[in-house]
Amino acid sequence: MRRVLVFGLLVVILSGCAQKAETQKLADGTCSIAQSKSVEKHISGQIDALAKKDWEQAFSFASESFQENIGLEQFIRIINGQYTMLIENQGYRFSECEIDVDKVTQKVEVTSNGSVYYLTYRVSINGSKLGIEGAVAGVADTPVTV
């Protein structure tokens, strides 16, 4: 029984180290599969909270520096003014994930009201904590039929 407890404790300690190591081992270039999944989960959390208009939950996914500089009320105004496609989204998917120094750039395609929007998220990593710094949005070109 004692061996089982020691083994169980060892597994928990090692798995905790492995999770932290994934965000601490940043090398410029393409994100690893584990890093991509972690970033996708974080951004999904914010997008899903925005779709529910759970402003406080959505704001909690922002980086510490963002939260210090932009209050919750201003965050709500920004989202309602510039990012309604996230509130009214009918789905989203992730594409490229790149690391540059201590920031991650994640591309996301969002479908909203019959249009596809391309967002480029900037996510910071502070220790083992992710935080969304911001996103730049653009609309996909609509094919023209002549």
Q: What is the pLDDT of residues 33-52, one digit of tens each?
A: 999 999 999 999 999 999 99
Q: Which of 23-32, 35-44, 93-102 has the highest mean pLDDT?
A: 35-44
Query: Model-level pTM?
Result: 0.78
Query: How confident is the model at residue 140, as a pLDDT?
Result: 64
Mean pLDDT score, 107-135? 95
Which own/partner pairs from 78-85 qualify as long-range (CB within 8 Å, at least 24 positions apart)? Answer: 79/50, 79/55, 82/137, 83/50, 83/135, 83/137, 84/112, 85/110, 85/112, 85/113, 85/115, 85/117, 85/137
How many of the other CB atoms lie within 10 Å of CB of 41?
A: 10
Please check the confidence at residue 141 and state whether its pLDDT lies above 80.
no
82 vs 15 pLDDT, higher one: 82
Please check the confidence at residue 142 and state whether its pLDDT lies above 60.
no
Residue 44 covered by a domain: yes
Mean pLDDT score, 88-115? 95
Residue 3 covered by a domain: no
Tally of domains in the chain: 1
Residue 123 covered by a domain: yes
Residue 104 lies in domain: 27-139
